[in-house]
Amino acid sequence: NRIKVFSPATVANVACGFDVIGLALDNPGDEIEMWLSSEPGIRIREIHGADLPLEPSKNVCGVALQALVKKLPDPLNAGFEMIIKKNIQPGSGIGSSAASAAGAVVAANILLGEPFPKKKLVRFAMEGERLASGSAHADNVAPAILGGFTLVRSYTPVDIVGLPTPPGLWVTVIHPQIEVKTSDAREILKHKVLMTDAIKQWGNVAALVAGLYRNDYGLIGRSLEDVIVEPVRSILIPAFQELKIKCKEAGALGGGISGSGPSVFMLSTSEEIARNVADVMNNIYQPLGLEYHIHVSTVN
Ligand code: HSE
């Protein structure tokens, strides 16, 4: 029997939470169709929507699945076959590789009768991230697997905490069609931070979490500030400051770079505001003559 899993795009970092906070969108998302076969091994039969390797050891789905198989309590006398439909463009900054890796391990876990709890699957999907970007961060795969907002309390050992999603939260994402590789966007970061910046950043992270628990949209908005990573990465994104200022004027709570960019996200408290924010993004980007896509979605 075949199953089909929808695995959503995600916004990593959510401004202040570099490598630790992420949220899942309700669209777009990749689709993974998977079934078991009697022949052991992993076979990626087709990939639609992107030019990616079919060879399992070079594909994030294959690598994540291999990590899962290695941790099965009993040896497996079956193999996995899959078809991948990419609806999230690779390199967009909304967790394209994470969605595929997460979808693959979720699908396999269902086919095997759920030997692993969902949080455990995050560890396997992180191997896909290691392949895609050289770093096994979990702030995209965790929300892709668990939904809503998630926090990575620790990487050694991996400790994932689900966070509440306040009702009526909308996300507007603009994806400029320029290439920013996650590996490059990590390379340019400084390895030391100032104590004064660290104090601001952990104040914001803690307040964002408090805002999510209290449905305090004002507090969430004030917390969407990144004084460590954004100042370095934002130079890669056309009209970044203007986007931030004008989207907030249009009613957005705030936002920042989505993951390692080039996408930029804004949170709003209603669909109407989220769509106004999309219009503002359009007005800023249209004259630039750059190709771009805008997604409006709820947190899911
Ligand atoms: N936290 C990671 C980064 C996410 O910002 O590099 C990459 O999608």
CB of residue 26 inside a 6 A radius of ligand 1: no
At 229, list the tokens: 């990573």
ipTM of the complex: 0.99
Q: Are 24 and 143 in contact (CB under 8 A)?
A: yes
CB of residue 16 inside a 6 A radius of ligand 1: no
Taking the centre of ligand 1 as the mean of its atom positions, its distance from the CA of residue 36, in whole angstroms, is 33
Q: Are strands 292-298 and 264-268 parallel, antiparallel or unpaired?
A: unpaired
pLDDT in tens, 136-180: 999 999 999 999 999 999 999 999 999 999 999 999 999 999 988
Taking the centre of ligand 1 as the mean of its atom positions, its distance from the CA of residue 129, in whole angstroms, is 10
pTM across the whole model:
0.97
DSSP type of residue 204: H
Angle 60-70/118-133 helices, nearest 10 degrees?
140
Report the alpha-carbon distance of residue 22 to residue 12 in Å, rounded. 4
Say yes or no to pLDDT of 195 above 90.
yes
* 39 part of the active site: no
At 94, list the tokens: 């909304």
Rg (C-alpha) for the chain, rounded Å, is 19
* 10 part of the active site: no
Q: Which atom of ligand 1 is nearest to the CA of 185?
A: 6
CB of residue 201 inside a 6 A radius of ligand 1: no
Taking the centre of ligand 1 as the mean of its atom positions, its distance from the CA of residue 232, in whole angstroms, is 13
Q: Which atom of ligand 1 is nearest to the CA of 98?
A: 8
Length of the chain: 300
Residue 64 pLDDT level (bands cut at 50, 70, 90): very high
Residues in a beta bridge with 42: 80
Report the alpha-carbon distance of residue 26 to residue 126 in Å, rounded. 21
pLDDT at 166: 97
Report the alpha-carbon distance of residue 300 to residue 281 in Å, rounded. 23
Say yes or no to pLDDT of 1 above 90.
no
pLDDT in tens, 85-124: 999 999 999 999 999 999 999 999 999 999 999 999 999 9
Q: Are 7 and 100 in contact (CB under 8 A)?
A: yes
The best mutation among 20, 131, 139, 258 to test binding of ligand 1, ranked by most ligand atoms within 8 Å of the C-beta, falls on 139
Q: Which of 31, 129, 150, 269 is catalytic?
A: 129
> How many CA within 13 A on the CB side of residue 52?
28
Please provide residue 265's backbone torsions phi and psi, each rounded to the nearest 5 degrees.
-115, 155
pLDDT at 179: 86
DSSP type of residue 299: B
pLDDT at 186: 95
DSSP states along 218-254: HHHHHH---SSSHHHHGGGSTTHHHHHHHHHHTT--E
